[in-house]
Amino acid sequence: MDMTTASCRDFVSALASSAPAPGGGGAAALVGAIGAALGNMVGALTVGRKKYTDAEEALRALMAKCDALQAELLDQVAADEAGFLPLAKAYGIPKDDPTRDAQLEAASVAACQTPLRIMELCCEALDAVAVFAEKGSKLAISDAGCAAVTLKAALQAASLNVFINTKGLTDRARADALNQKCQTMLEHGALADQIFAEIKDGFLA
At residue 2, the pLDDT reads 83
144 found inside a domain: yes
The pLDDT-based confidence of 20 (bands split at 50, 70, 90) is: confident
80 found inside a domain: yes
Q: Residues 141, 144, 150, CA angle at the centre, nearest 5°? A: 145
1 found inside a domain: no
Q: What's the total number of domains in the chain?
A: 1
Across all residues in the chain, what is the average pLDDT? 96
55 found inside a domain: yes
Residues 115-163 have pLDDT tens digits of 999 999 999 999 999 999 999 999 999 999 999 999 999 999 999 999 9
Residues 47-94 have pLDDT tens digits of 999 999 999 999 999 999 999 999 999 999 999 999 999 999 999 999
13 found inside a domain: no
4 found inside a domain: no
**CATH number of the domain enclosing 34:** 1.20.120.680
**88 is in which domain, residue-wise?**
21-204
39 found inside a domain: yes
pTM: 0.96
89 found inside a domain: yes
